[in-house]
Amino acid sequence: MSPEDLQALWLTVKLATSTTIILLIIGLPLSWWLVRSQSIAATAFNVLIALPLVLPPTVIGFYLLLAMGPSGPLGALTSTAGLAPLAFSFPGLVLGSVIYSLPFVVQPLQAGFAAVPQSVLDASSSLGADPKSLLLRVAIPMSQRAVVAAGVLGFAHTVGEFGVVLMIGGNIPGETRVASVQIYDHVEALDYAGAHQLSLILVVFSLVILTLVYRVWGGSVFTQSGSKSA
Amino acid sequence: MAQLSVSEVLPSGVCIGVYGPSGSGKSTFLRAISGLIRVPGTVQINDDVWQDDRRFLAPHQRRAAMVLQSPGLLPHRTVAGNLEFAIRFNRNAKAGLLDSILQDFGLVQLRDQRASTLSGGEQQRVAIARAVAAQPDVLLLDEPLTGLDDEARQALLQVLMQLKRTGITCIFVSHSAYEQALLADHLVIMDAGAIAMSGSSASVFANASPTSALGRELGVVIGDLQVVENADGLAIAARDELRIQMATKAPRGSAVSVRVRADDVSLTEMPEHQSSIMNTIPVTVSGQSIFDETPFSLIELDAFGTRLFARITNDASRKLGLRVGAKCHAQIKAAAITAYL
């Protein structure tokens, strides 16, 4: 394997790890709110979060690219804050991945949180648990399996990302050239052996992740409770 | 959810029973006190206003602790871990509270067991202990014994009776007259979201209208009886000249209370010796209520200074020529008497 291949793999792991951490930090309170709230805003958020499931990644990438551009809202934000533009940068990739993988984290979390019995929440709040403690000390510990499933799926989905990356990140070695883009480059250059090597690594990685998911969660990550209730 | 229309000042430091048929608003009443639901009005406990026209404290800001029919324990924590959860939010908790609660509730041996591995009765015992560990101003119990098997229910009744003696203020919702007779010092009867009756437990049991929710449970609770004989569970308990035979495990010399329902008392002019009914008590009629809406009369009786009620048909009342001052004999099946320690 060439140093470029290794660099692309390392960048992929870095991107997937940062994305997963951010996704969990955002996803846990967001999913909790979505499960508990009956407001119209919650419904709207559910629809928005699910968009990446149905839209072509290139569409999301395209609009993100426009938003990050000099005349886009994100571009305006970064230039007034004195930061480098997000387009064609690693932080830009992380932002794109977070949006693109959000439903894969939020949906298992919602399923897990929804399965926490109301009686446990009622009893806990009557004992003095404020809303933050309800999330941190009741809902999350009772949904451990859903939390792990959400993290694994968020990570795996980010590793498999291609369209969004290419649209907003381009193909800069060490900065935005992740494994999926590197494979594309190998194929473009008719270097099928190089493409095979990297592809095989991704296939094995995906098989391991999916086997883990099916062994631990019975394959019903999106519907199962994520916890045994008392 | 039932509409709630309640305006009542209730005593503190006692167990307040809330009784009524399902849908009468008992649980709604309790949830409104806890703040789990929001109904317009005022909730005040001692000097603390929990809600009025201007403010509404969330459940975690109210010093109330709730035990529901479903124990609601944290399944991933141990018994001690569940108690620690309550103690964490109890600002007045002193060191050693955990151990003394484990001791008081007989949970020392279960201390390190995960909540999800406990039986239903054990879980509810932990749930009650956990609520007490919060040291609330009022303990709210919503049908805590419903759905448990009889053995677990009896064991937890003992726990609640002990708890009651500590002087904690508790509100105990149950549709079981048996549990209410045992636990409630003050009894509130709810019907259609409103309070139909409220008063000391003994007076409510004696004075409830036969058409009310408590109708079939109407009767008396006779306290301070002394067990004078007990042969293999069939005992005789006495107070002055009143002697009642019943089934109880209470040993000789111990004090018991009994509940006698009006439906379980029949009247006869002459004592019958060839009857399976073992309790034949000479009584004097001290009152009579005929309710037009039912074919039954309620007869108030005096048995050696103790009040009893009998519900008999209007026809029987006429045949026996019952009027105030008439003497007759009350018959009570020993099997119909519920004895409490």
Segment A108-154, tens digit of pLDDT: 999 999 999 999 999 999 999 999 999 999 999 999 989 998 999 99
Phi, psi dihedrals of residue B259, rounded to the nearest 5°? -115, 130
Per-residue pLDDT at B332: 92
Q: Do B90 and A128 touch (CB under 8 A)?
A: yes
Q: What percent of chain A has pLDDT over 70?
A: 94
Q: Do A127 and B134 touch (CB under 8 A)?
A: yes
Q: Which of A119, A130, A137 sits opposite B72 (nearest CB)?
A: A119
Per-residue pLDDT at A109: 95
Per-residue pLDDT at B211: 64
Testing the interface with B: which of A126, A130, A134 to mutate, by most B Cβ within 10 A? A126
Q: Do A124 and B72 touch (CB under 8 A)?
A: yes
Angle, helix A192-217 to helix A3-36, in steps of 10 degrees? 30
Nearest CA in chain A to B127: A123
Per-residue pLDDT at A84: 87
A219 Cα to chain B: minimum distance (Å): 23
Nearest CA in chain B to A119: B72
What average pLDDT does the structure give for chain A?
89
Q: Does B62 touch chain A (CB under 8 A)?
A: yes
Q: Do B86 and A127 touch (CB under 8 A)?
A: yes
Under-50 pLDDT residues of chain B: 1
Residue A222's pLDDT band, with cuts at 50, 70 and 90, is very low
Q: Does A37 touch chain B (CB under 8 A)?
A: no
3-state secondary structure (DSSP) of residue A17: helix
Residue A226's pLDDT band, with cuts at 50, 70 and 90, is very low
DSSP string, A153-173: HHHHHHHT--HHHHHHH---T
Q: Which helix H or strand E contains B299, and what residues bound it? A: strand B296-303
For residue B173, which of B340, B9, B336, B17 has the smallest C-alpha distance? B17
pTM of this structure: 0.79
Tell me which residue has tokens 């005789």: B236
Parallel/antiparallel/unpaired status of strands B138-142 and B170-173: parallel
**Tokens coding B69:** 């029919």
Residue A219: pLDDT over 70:
no
Per-residue pLDDT at B177: 81
Which one-letter amino acid corresponds to residue B137?
A: D
Tell me which residue has tokens 């591995």: B117
ipTM: 0.80
Please state, as a whole number, how many other Cβ atoms lie within 10 Å of the Cβ of residue B86: 28
Per-residue pLDDT at B293: 64
Q: What is the mean pLDDT of residues A58-62?
A: 93
What 8-state DSSP symbol labels residue A170?
Answer: -
Residues of B in contact with A128 (CB under 8 A): 60, 86, 89-90, 134
Nearest CA in chain A to B116: A230
Q: What is the mean pLDDT of residues A175-194?
A: 92
**Tokens coding B98:** 């955990």
User: Cα–Cα distances in Å, from A180 out to A187, A205, B124?
Assistant: 11, 13, 55
**Tokens coding A59:** 């569409």
Residues of A in contact with B131 (CB under 8 A): 123, 126-127
In terms of C-beta distances under 8 Å and separation of at least 24 residues, what long-range contacts does A181-187 make, across chains too?
A181/A8, A182/A4, A182/A5, A182/A8
A134 Cα to chain B: minimum distance (Å): 10
Q: Does A196 touch chain B (CB under 8 A)?
A: no
Per-residue pLDDT at B291: 63
Per-residue pLDDT at A230: 36
For residue A9, which of A138, A199, A166 has the smallest C-alpha distance? A199
Q: How far apart are CA B205 and CA B341, in angstroms?
A: 19
